[in-house]
Amino acid sequence: MSFIPDVLSFIDGRKAESAQDWALRRDEILELLAREEYGFLPEKKPVRISTLGKNNAHSGGRGIEEKLELRIEADMGPFTVPVTLLYPDTPEKHPLFLYISFSPDIYQHYFPAETVLSRGYAVAMLHYTAITSDDGDMQNGLAGLMDRADDGSGWGKISLWAWTLSRALDALLLRDDIDKANIAVIGHSRLGKTALWCGANDERIRFVCVNDSGCSGAAMERCKNPDSETAEKIYRRFPFWFCENYQKHGFDVDNMPFDQHFALAACCPRFVAVHSASLDDWADPASEMRSCLNASPVWKLYGMKGLDEGVKGSLSYFLREGTHYLALADWTAYMDFIEAHKA
Ligand code: GTR
């Protein structure tokens, strides 16, 4: 069993003992994860959003679908990203899911539109490769228009996708039909890693829904199931998801100054739901749960419950039967979690 870095211990050895201490320790953790794993997020940029079209009869008239265009003033010129906004055709403000999606189409197997609408939620969907391609082309899409540090700590693609979700939120929060206190972010697999990193950084997001995110997501990198993905394996196949500094850690996991429970803890004192699938050995459910347990002490500084005190904690873990997937059962459990902790 290798040494597990303590989420509460500052780099200088002091221990966070209060909510005030945690705010500082959280900054340290975000800096560490940015510099050593995902790469630093770009600075905030101005955005504008416009409506291109509207369908008032989504899901048999239950929902309204708006086709939006998010315009980001990137370092080297403007860039536009399509956003699909779906919301119930009812007068009250809607809690919002920021959903980073594998598909450009809102009609897709990972998204149960009618169920989500019937529970009163709005969903803003961004298609991840409309932001930048899922490969090592650092000139594609938005990536080609953003400055990037060349010292090994420049943003990887996960950081750029996560950052764009926050820019979409900048614009969406200006609408008066969104319940600003109840914003969630959700993503599956590589986009679960993205949702986690976005939620860790963006304090406007109250609920961080991390689906089957595995390696470099919710799963601890130390002591993994040998059949699962490790930092070394992921860096060999997908170096562009990360910053270059991550490579050295992949080959020396036992000595990394962090592990993935740091990313979960960085969401505290907000709310995190980690989901795994029982047959998803590659993501390693046991390591995803261990990470929740290791992050839990942080919530106690706020008088909140972590995972160790039951599923109604502010950090929750859910194991769905089945394979790697973002299922209706996952969405339902995320919405139950949100309803238990709504502002
Ligand atoms: C796999 C990758 C995982 C996971 C998955 C996905 O190939 O090894 O880390 O992200 O892709 O995103 O579907």
Digit-coded pLDDT (tens) for 41-51: 999 999 999 99
Q: What is the mean pLDDT of residues 82-106?
A: 97
Of all protein residues, whose CA lies closest to atom 10 belonging to ligand 1?
Answer: 190
Question: 282 CA to middle of ligand 1, Å?
Answer: 8
Whether 77 has a pLDDT exceeding 60, the answer reads: yes
Q: What count of Cα atoms within 13 Å lies in the side-chain half-sphere of residue 75?
A: 12
Q: Residue 308 has what pLDDT?
A: 73
Cα separations (Å) of 275 from 5, 283, 315?
23, 11, 11
Residue bearing the bigger pLDDT, 128 or 59: 128
Q: Tell me if 231 CB under 6 Å of ligand 1.
A: no
Q: Tell me if 218 CB under 6 Å of ligand 1.
A: no
Q: What's this model's pTM, rounded to 2 decimal places?
A: 0.98
Question: 100 CA to middle of ligand 1, Å?
Answer: 15
Q: What is the mean pLDDT of the chain?
A: 96
CA distance 49 to 85: 12
Q: What is the mean pLDDT of residues 208-217?
A: 98
Q: Tell me if 190 CB under 6 Å of ligand 1.
A: yes
Q: Residue 312 has what pLDDT?
A: 67
User: 327 CB contacts (<8 Å, ≥6 apart)?
Assistant: 320
Ligand 1: nearest atom to the Cα of 237: 8
Ligand 1: nearest atom to the Cα of 191: 12
Q: Residue 158 has what pLDDT?
A: 99
Digit-coded pLDDT (tens) for 236-295: 999 999 999 999 998 899 999 999 999 999 999 999 999 999 999 999 999 999 999 999
Query: Does the domain at residues 29-341 carry the CATH identifier 3.40.50.1820?
Result: yes
Q: Residue 311 has what pLDDT?
A: 58
User: 2 CB contacts (<8 Å, ≥6 apart)?
Assistant: 222, 223, 253, 254
Digit-coded pLDDT (tens) for 283-333: 999 999 999 999 999 999 999 999 976 556 999 999 999 999 999 999 999
Q: Tell me if 234 CB under 6 Å of ligand 1.
A: yes
Ligand 1: nearest atom to the Cα of 216: 9
Tell me the best of 238, 240, 280 to mutate to test the pocket of ligand 1, counting ligand atoms within 8 Å of each CB and taking the most: 238
Digit-coded pLDDT (tens) for 147-168: 999 999 999 999 999 999 999 9
**Residues 141, 132: contact at Cβ < 8 Å?**
yes
Tokens coding 66: 């708006």
Phi-psi region of 128 (alpha: psi -120 to 50; beta: other; left: phi over 0): alpha
CA distance 46 to 313: 36
Q: Residue 251 has what pLDDT?
A: 87
Q: Residue 250 has what pLDDT?
A: 87
Digit-coded pLDDT (tens) for 173-199: 999 999 999 999 999 999 999 999 999
Q: Residue 2 has what pLDDT?
A: 64
Q: Residue 1 has what pLDDT?
A: 46
Domains of the chain: which residue ranges? 29-341
Digit-coded pLDDT (tens) for 2-37: 689 999 999 999 999 999 999 999 999 999 999 999
Ligand 1: nearest atom to the Cα of 193: 10
Q: Tell me if 215 CB under 6 Å of ligand 1.
A: yes
